[in-house]
Homo-oligomer: A and B are copies of this chain.
Amino acid sequence: MEQHPRQMDGLFQALADPTRRAVLRRLGQGPASISELAKPFDMALPSFMKHIHLLEESGWIQTRKEGRVRTCAIEKKPFAVVQAWLSEQRDLWEGRTDRLEQFVTRTHGKGEPR
């Protein structure tokens, strides 16, 4: 069972949008202000801010306001959470493949002379 299913829901939900993925890609190169982040998008600022809030609420980014400028920075922990989920899936398949191999080897060993 998952430990924090709602957190996982939020992390994946945040990734289900090209603007939010592009913001994360940009922030992977270093922190940036909201206006700098918004520049490449043909989008009204309130709409863009919704994406920023969703990224912050889900845990993908942190924002900090200094004077009039709000700066955003990426959080690395969510990437580790998603990576762990993918790795868990892979372990399941590999366990399954191992079991299949054992079965094939056993069957082969019994049924056919060398």
Contacts and interface: CB of A to CB of B under 8 A. Distances in A.
Contacts of A30: 96
A41 interface: no
Contacts of A70: none
Nearest to A82: B86
B9 A18 contact: yes
Interface of A: 2, 5, 8-10, 12-13, 15-18, 21, 24-25, 28-30, 74, 76, 79, 82-83, 85-86, 88-90, 92-93, 95-96
- By secondary structure, the A interface counts as helix
B28 A89 contact: yes
Contact of A79 (B12, B28, B90): B90
Contacts of A83: 86
